[in-house]
Amino acid sequence: MDRKQMCVANVQYKKPSADGAKQSKNLLRYLTYRESRDEAARHVAGRERWVDHGMGGSVGEIAQRCDDLKSEHVLTFSLVCNPNPDLMAMVAPEDREQFVRELTESVVNGFFDERGLDTGIEYSYVLHHRLTDDPKAPGLHDPHTHVVLPGTVYDEEHGQRVPLFFSRNRKVNHIEMLHDVTEQTMVAQMERYVGPDWEQRYDELAAVREQERTIADNEPHGGMLDDKGESWDVWCGTRRTDEQQTAVGFYRWYAAATEDDPDALHLEFRPLAAGLPHEQATFFAQVLAQEMSGDMDKLRELAALLNGMSADQREVLITEMGRYEQPTRDISPEFEL
């Protein structure tokens, strides 16, 4: 896999101004009381929400520490540590929280060790358990952390605090250094939590997804109109969600123009029925491709019926239709499921 896609680690900062202080406090409140834009936090008291490594354990404490340790140009830095949800799906659900906590602390400590700051740095972080809103794979567990850092750091050589900075020049690129430390830490933790074959397993998942996309090399199964009234071909197919589940939905091309390529197109997938065993998903994708008869509304209707069935009901239907051989019996919205 492309190891640069293993984990997102981005840094931002707030200025020591009235607006910066207000924005910083609003951010701290958001991080304390939300999991995401659309979901409230599971713990709302605040103190048990934050892991305190010197910057405090509540909105008030952290805001005060940020003000106490600010520099002339920086009130506070914030760091997001967000592992790839595809990789997190390989980690046992009961281990994911500990995985992300260890990852966060190892990245922060390792990054400042790499910078030669032997005295370390104060920080606090909060863990969020949001679900992905990626249109092609919504609802995946996406645990990640937000780390709050001060605007200054103690310099042992000078015996005082000095401004903390993140350079991006030829001599030293701290952002690139941060990404390198994050990548190395992710590799070590994936080997420890998942096993030495984790990368091979991920590459196999990616290869299956690439193969699934080739359905668009065939004749389309139907068409649809976009918001602008433009017609697009669609293909009913599957997309491997993780090592246990596959989604049934449709592929279509859409315009993805760039300055370099104004005519660029991108093949996107939209799931209609998720959480199916691989073989079962493939079977129903074939059935729905036949039965939609080129009509997107009918495809959505059939997928809704499929979503309304239990796992046992789906198995009964598959048995009646000839197991996993080529489907021989039509289904329609009127068919008694």
Q: What is the mean pLDDT of residues 165-181?
A: 89
Q: Is 203 contained in some domain? A: no
Same domain, yes or no: 298 and 236: yes
Report the percent of the chain where pLDDT is more than 70: 94
Residue 98 belongs to a domain: yes
Higher pLDDT, 254 or 23: 23
Q: Residue 105: what pLDDT? A: 97
Reading the block at residue 196, the tokens are 């030495």
DSSP helix, strand, coil percent of the chain (3-state; round to 5)? 40, 30, 35
120 and 23, same structural domain?
Answer: yes
Both 26 and 79 in a single domain? Answer: yes
**pLDDT band of 42, cuts 50, 70, 90:** low
- Evaluated on CA atoms 117, 120, 126, 130, the torsion sign reads positive
- Residues 164, 152 contacting (CB under 8 angstroms): yes
pLDDT of residue 45: 52
Does residue 305 sit within a domain?
Answer: yes
Q: What is the mean pLDDT of residues 157-173?
A: 86
Do residue 188 and residue 233 come from a single domain? Answer: no
pLDDT, one tens digit per residue, over 298-323 is: 999 999 999 999 999 999 988 888 77
pLDDT higher than threshold 80 for residue 93: yes
pLDDT > 90: percent of the chain: 73
117 vs 153: CA distance, rounded Å: 9
294-295 and 222-225 beta bridge pairing? parallel
Question: Is 144 domain-assigned?
Answer: yes
What is the domain count for the chain?
2
pLDDT category, 337, cuts 50, 70, 90? very low
pLDDT of residue 329: 44
> Domain for residue 49, yes or no?
yes
Q: What's the pLDDT score for residue 43?
A: 56
Phi-psi region at 275: left, alpha or beta (left = phi > 0; alpha = psi -120 to 50): left
Q: Which residue has the higher pLDDT, 199 or 229?
A: 199
Q: Which residue has the higher pLDDT, 118 or 224?
A: 224
pLDDT band at 98 (very low <50, low <70, confident <90, very high): very high
pLDDT digits (tens, 9 = 90+) for 266-288: 999 999 999 999 999 999 999 99
pLDDT band at 34 (very low <50, low <70, confident <90, very high): confident
If DSSP codes are grouped into helix, strand and coil, which group holds residue 111?
helix
pTM for the predicted model, two decimal places: 0.87
Distance CA 51, CA 293 (A): 55
Same domain, 223 and 187: no
Asked if residue 234 and residue 189 are part of one domain, the reply reads: no
pLDDT at 31: 92
| Domain limits for position 265 | 218-320
Residue 168 is classified by DSSP as: B
Q: What is the CATH number of the domain that holds 21?
A: 3.30.930
Q: Are residues 104 and 22 in the same domain?
A: yes
Are 229 and 185 members of one domain?
no
**202 belongs to a structural domain:** no
Last residue of a domain, one of 196, 228, 263: 196
Q: Which two tokens stand for residue 287?
A: 């059935």
Residue 213 resides in a domain: no
Q: What is the mean pLDDT of residues 140-161?
A: 92
Average pLDDT of the segment spanning 69-86: 96
Residue 39 has pLDDT above 90, yes or no: no
Instruction: Answer yes or no: do 178 and 295 share one domain.
Output: no
331: confidence class by pLDDT, cuts 50, 70, 90: very low
Is residue 120 domain-resident? yes
- Has residue 37 got a pLDDT over 90? no
- Separation of alpha carbons 174 and 13, rounded Å: 14
Indicate whether 234 and 316 sit together in one domain.
yes
> Is residue 332 pLDDT above 50, yes or no?
no
Please indicate, yes or no, whether residues 160 and 268 belong to a single structural domain of this protein: no
Reported confidence tier of residue 100, pLDDT bands at 50, 70, 90: very high
